[in-house]
Structure formats: C-alpha cells, structure tokens
Amino acid sequence: MGDEAVRGAFNQFFNRFEANALNFRYDWVVFASRGGSGWFAGTTTMEAVVKGEKKERSFNMSGNLRKEKGKWRIVAVHISRLRAEEQPAAGMGSASGTGAGGTRLLGAA
C-alpha cells in the first residue's frame, strides 16, 4: 500500500460516475477547531449517475484538519456506509444550533 495504490483505488471508485453528475448533500455536520487543528463529523448523501441510472447512498464521515499557511487541509478522513435502515428519510427537515463546547451543528435532522 502506498500513494499509487491509494490513488488507483480513488480513481477506480470515482471514474465510474458520469462527468458533472456527482453531488453531495450534507444531512448534518458538526465541526470544531482550536488553533491550527480541527475535526468534523457528519452524514452525507452522495447522488450520482452511473451508466445512465441515478444512484443515491448515505455515508458517515469524520476527519481531522490542520491549518497550513492560512488554509485548512485534510489530514485524515474516515468514511463508512450507513445500513439501509439508517438512511436519512426523504423530506426530513433540518435544524442548526450549537452543541457541547461551542461546537457548531449544521443541518441536523
């Protein structure tokens, strides 16, 4: 496993989608930062067209960020697919607010 293996797996996954037909909807996101470090977690729904057919899948995501030269950079990301019974229901409302420790919560359903 190395840079080439990761790049190959990434390209294999994303090359199956039709151009300009991949969209992400964030069902909820929570994030916080202190100094030059930050983290995020959330659920996102990916909408794509594969061989002319619209597909939709939801994932949990979390990651760590580092601020370099004034820009946030991703250090690590974890993605896991939700089981069918955990998929967000269509048409659910969203809310926003502040969680524990001043953490900003966006789009919570």
Which amino acid appears at position 47 of this protein?
A: E
Helices (H), the chain: 3-14
**Tens digit of pLDDT for each residue in 75-93?**
999 989 876 555 555 443 3
List the domains of the chain with CATH numbers. Answer: 3-108 (3.10.450.50)
Res. 47: pLDDT tops 90: no
Do 22 and 46 meet the contact criterion of CB atoms below 8 Å apart? yes
Q: How confident is the model at residue 56 (pLDDT cuts 50, 70, 90)?
A: confident
Mean pLDDT of the residues in the chain: 76
Backbone phi and psi for residue 12, each to the nearest 5 degrees, phi listed first: -60, -40
Contact 67, 73 (CB under 8 A): yes
